[in-house]
Chain A
Amino acid sequence: MIDDLGIKSAFASITSQALLKALLVIIIASLVIVAVQKVLPRVAEKLGGKPRLYLLASVPLLRLLIIFATITVVVPILVEPSFENMVAIFGALALALGFAFKDYANSLIAGIVTLYEMPYRPGDWIEVDGQYGVVRAINTRAAEIVTPDDTVVIIPHNKLWNSLIANGNDGTDNLMCTADFYLEANHDVSQVRDLLRDVAFTSPRTKTWQPVLVIVFNKPWGMHYRVKAYPFDPKEQFQFVSELTARGSAELARQNVKFVSVPVVAD
């Protein structure tokens, strides 16, 4: 079989010197990748706003470029880069990967598609299969997200094919946050809407040039208000929602607007 594919002849010319050379190139490339993965996120941490997002997003792209460059350099060192040899090597590689690492190959390909389609980038806030967090890294096979509870969740890229991926900020620094208020009925709705809008506008974290909306729903148990606004930095979202909730609740209480509460049901 190996003979049929021409693999044997392709590798026949490999010398120990060529092997050492290829190894050296691979080591250098690995070091560069490690350096890119360590240094750029650190530099990005020092920057705020969009530059941080752009720098983070460039990490996986750079890694892919380095990997391609390494393959381009290493293959001609090991084998004579004739058409037959290339077909033989890549054909065999594809066959091996296809049989042995079907899922792994699936994730690798999805990873490449991820870099092209960009359903998520480092710095994005995404939700996949109920897991919400910020994308920390996009590796070859999987993406790493960090949840608000500081837990790292590994999401294989092949989720891309069959899962719903919700992206909160989609490569920008605009992430809408919502604070909910559940109030008893029989109050002045327009006054409460104005008040909640003011709560959002007076928060130092609000991006005032983005829309600030107060939505109200009439429910059987009372009124459900949703304050929608954008924090100036997606990282501030939890602080922002907490602040809106705390200040909104305090002001509503001051205005004698009562909250609904659901009795606790014991099992």
Chain B
Amino acid sequence: MKDTINDKSADTCLPGGLISADQWTLPQTSVRRSLKDAIQYALSQLQAGVSQAEDPFESMDDLPELSGIQKKRLAPEPDYGRQAEAIASGVQQARSEGSLSREVVCLVAPPFSGLQQSLARFEELAEPGLLDGSGEKWRIIGPPDTLSFSAKEACDWWDEQDLSTPWVITELADFWLRSLSGLVLVKELFRRIAIGETGAGILGCSSWCWRYWGQYLENAQMSPWTPAPMDAERLGVWFTYLASGKGRSEIVARMTGDGLYVLPLAEKDKTKSNKKRKYSSFLRDLAATSRGNPGVALAIWQRSLRAKPDDEAKLDEADEKTEKQSRAADCWVVPLGKLSLPSMPQSKESVTGFILHGLLLHNGLDMSSLELVTGVSTYELSLVLSRLKRAELAACDETDGRWQVTAIGYPTVRRHLQGWGFPLDQF
């Protein structure tokens, strides 16, 4: 693990720990895989509109998917409380090593990386004063109800917030709208941070929002930190940690087609009897497909798990020589090539791009805010959003009416925005 500064303390729940955003690198994959992805994407672009598939997600195998309980056991959602502790210890370590000296720590991560949820647990940290040494509890600053402010109103709003005691903003994207009066609140916050008017704090921000503000405030040098990208090894460690939970034994996952091992990881599995085992490149491909994003990788991982292989005979053949060494798998994994991830509905207009870009910039928006930032009418918005929902690229939270890009659709959305020339994030 070459790129981490505080890697020694890397927790299994945050493999790789925190790194400076400049050190972030895209997980590598094989040339064959990259070419295959590029061709598949080009074909899906050309075929879009030709195929009228109703079901956006289609698995090209006949194996039964895992039940809800099995999925919860084998690929559960992460424990954000533990992640919060890992982030706090990562920041603390960077501070003690002298690589992080600012009072305000900017943590930037791509959507679905779980940063926002982890920062939201900072109030519950067992050792609250660990990072600033004051012993005071962290206080979460939430966004105001409305985001349209004049410069004076924004000033007044920040005056009302107590920034002298340790504070946490879980997601900066919730504090602004891409409209003339929607920029003021964040501008004022950055001004205060720049002149040192705030005390110790943690500023969490999605990578898309950060990129925008980095371009808007050309001269701001905030030196953000980010969770290390999930390469194959880290993904393996993380999936194992998620599945093994509290004291359960390590899981065994094997490919459905050829029986190659996915988990446990090769390096972890060095017992003599297991030396002849063959391992799949699934995790490497998954790391590249998800661009090292844990939330996206987990969503694909959950989709790829199966209860049993399609042809056990094949497995027997593949493992004939090492039959005695083979362990019964807890679950089976469908190759990435056999999983069709959501594809983008064809459109000659750029409206779809405006909407998806708006959603990513603001970490999700309701209809009225989306109309304000994109300039697309409510009528057209509802048409496009319903198409995106059917394609499993966007979903609406029923409780607050907020639309968001889905984790499983994120790679497709990012690629679409890249193809159309929209500004992208760093990750």
Q: Which residues of A approach B to under 8 Å, CB–CB?
A: 43, 45-51, 173, 195, 198-199, 201-202, 204-205, 207-209, 232-233, 236, 243, 247, 251
Contact = CB atoms under 8 A, between A and B. Distances in A.
A49 B418 CA distance: 8
A51 B420 CA distance: 9
A149 B180 CA distance: 32
Nearest to A52: B419
B215 A46 contact: no
Given A43-B46, A195-B180, A208 B421 contact: no
The 7 A-B pairs at the shortest CB distance, nearest first, are namely: A48-B420, A232-B421, A208-B215, A49-B421, A204-B354, A48-B419, A208-B423
Contact of A47 (B211, B357, B419, B422): B419
Interface string B390-425: 000000000000000000000000001011111100
Given A202-B179, A208-B216, A232 B420 contact: yes
Interface residues of B, number: 30
Most chain-B Cβ atoms within 10 A of its Cβ — which of A46, A48, A243? A48
Given A202-B373, A208-B211, A236-B350, 6 more contacts: A46-B46, A48-B421, A51-B419, A198-B180, A201-B216, A232-B353
A204 B180 contact: no
A207 B183 contact: no
A45 B45 CA distance: 11
Contacts of A49: 418-421
Contacts of A48: 353, 416, 419-421
A233 B357 CA distance: 14
Consensus secondary structure, chain A interface = helix
B373 A204 contact: yes
B420 A233 contact: yes
A92 B230 CA distance: 69
Contacts of A233: 350, 420-421
B322 interface: no
Most chain-A Cβ atoms within 10 A of its Cβ — which of B48, B348, B354, B419? B419
B423 A202 contact: no
Contacts of B212: 208
A197 to B, nearest CB: 9
Contacts of B180: 195, 198-199, 202, 247, 251
Contacts of A205: 350, 354
Contacts of A50: 421
12 contacts: A46-B46, A46-B48, A48-B420, A49-B421, A201-B216, A202-B180, A204-B357, A204-B373, A204-B374, A208-B216, A233-B420, A243-B375
B223 interface: no
B358 interface: yes
Consensus secondary structure, chain B interface = helix
Contacts of A46: 45-46, 48, 346
A48 B353 CA distance: 11
B178 interface: yes
Nearest to B212: A208
A48 B418 CA distance: 9
B40 to A, nearest CB: 14
A259 to B, nearest CB: 18
B420 A209 contact: no
A256 to B, nearest CB: 15
Contacts of B416: 48
Contacts of B42: 47, 51
A11 B353 CA distance: 61
A243 to B, nearest CB: 7
Contacts of A43: 46
Nearest to A195: B180
B423 A207 contact: yes
Contacts of A236: 350
A173 B179 contact: no
Nearest to B372: A202
A232 B358 CA distance: 14
Nearest to A201: B216
Contact of B348 (A45, A51, A173, A201): A45
Contacts of A173: 421
B421 A207 contact: yes
Contacts of B418: 49
Contacts of A45: 348
A5 B341 CA distance: 67
Interface in B43-68: 45-46, 48
A250 to B, nearest CB: 9
Contacts of A232: 350, 353, 420-423
Contacts of B353: 48, 232
